[in-house]
């Protein structure tokens, strides 16, 4: 049974508004839209990732495991339970005048659905990030099998269309990390319907994390030319949301 499509569409509109506000300072302490758990090639348990996100004070995030939604689903359940526990503590504290429900739950980040999908574009493999989609939509079935799709489903245009059919947004991950130039790939991705590009990305894994200045400037210029959204993410595979590895 497919969940409420209108709700998913509203979620993507909300996320689009967030993307439009991002800048070089947004990640990793306010927003982070690229991270992995043990359900693909990361080291984080989803529950631990969420605990760290809350401790850092993140306002919004997305778990983008490769070809699976399991990490996101575990994290979503954990977050809902955490909110309920906060509500219980706040209700008890309110009676004694010591705790505010709004104060406790105000620390909860917004968690959007997410996934990273391999796809063919201009004869090479790229990664497409899907966000704020209906996790149960049938169009996503070829991309949630823990491995890359094949045949027509592997083409970037088909991946992007499937994400759109599920009410989500499609973003080209780390555009300057492929075998072909981002000056070629971004126009090609725009032609087949991509919504955005991961403009703020740290290509050399600096510590502390910061987006690579030259690539960021170039990708943002291309995004402006083709009317694309800019996103940000650490692409975390380790045990810190502040680093890639």
Global pTM value: 0.91
Q: What pLDDT, in 10s, does the model give residues 225-242?
A: 999 999 999 999 999 999
Q: Is residue 120 helix, strand or coil?
A: strand
Least confident among 2-16, 109-123, 144-158, 169-183: 2-16
Question: pLDDT above 90 covers what percent of the chain?
Answer: 87
DSSP string of 48-88, one letter each residue: HHHHHHHHHT-SEEE---BT--HHHHHHHHHHHHHHHHHHH
- Mean pLDDT across the stretch 10-36? 97
Choose among 45, 96, 36, 85: nearest CA to 244. 36
Give the H or E element holding residue 126: strand 124-131
Choose among 51, 52, 54, 50: nearest CA to 63. 50
- Mean pLDDT across the stretch 130-135? 98
Q: Is residue 167 helix, strand or coil?
A: coil
CB neighbours of residue 117 within 10 Å: 27
Q: How confident is the model at residue 3 (pLDDT cuts 50, 70, 90)?
A: very low
Q: How confident is the model at residue 8 (pLDDT cuts 50, 70, 90)?
A: low
* Domains assigned to the chain: 5-232 (3.20.20.140)
Contact, 172 vs 194, CB < 8 A?
yes
Q: How far is CA 79 from CA 84, 130, 133, in A?
A: 9, 20, 18
Q: What pLDDT, in 10s, does the model give residues 76-108?
A: 999 999 999 987 766 655 455 544 444 445 589
- Mean pLDDT across the stretch 65-73? 98
Residue reference for tokens 């590009």? 197
Residue reference for tokens 């009317």? 227
Residue 40 CB partners (closer than 8 Å, separation 6+):
65, 66, 67, 68, 71, 116, 146
């Amino acid at each position: 049974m497919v969940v409420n499509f209108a709700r998913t569409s509203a979620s993507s509109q909300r996320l689009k508004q967030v993307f439009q506000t991002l800048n070089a300072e947004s990640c990793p302490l306010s927003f982070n839209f690229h991270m992995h758990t043990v359900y693909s090639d990361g080291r984080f348990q989803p529950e631990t990732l969420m605990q760290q996100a809350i401790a850092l004070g993140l306002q919004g995030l997305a778990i983008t495991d490769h070809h699976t939604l399991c990490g996101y689903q575990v994290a979503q359940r954990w977050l809902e339970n955490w909110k309920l526990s906060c509500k219980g503590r706040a209700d008890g504290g309110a009676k004694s005048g010591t705790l505010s429900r709004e104060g406790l739950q105000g620390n909860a980040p917004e968690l959007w659905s997410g996934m990273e999908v391999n796809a063919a574009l201009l004869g090479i493999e790229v990664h497409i990030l899907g966000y704020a989609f209906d996790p149960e939509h049938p169009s996503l079935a070829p991309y949630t099998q823990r491995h890359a799709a094949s045949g027509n489903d592997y083409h970037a245009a088909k991946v992007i269309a499937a994400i759109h059919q599920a009410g989500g947004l499609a973003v080209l991950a780390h555009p300057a990390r492929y075998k072909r130039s981002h000056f070629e790939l971004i126009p090609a991705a725009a032609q087949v319907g991509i919504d955005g590009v991961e403009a703020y990305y740290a290509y050399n894994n600096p510590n502390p994390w910061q987006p690579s200045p030259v690539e960021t400037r170039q990708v943002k210029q291309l995004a402006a030319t083709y009317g694309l959204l800019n996103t940000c993410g650490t692409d975390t595979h380790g045990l810190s949301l502040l680093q890639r590895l």
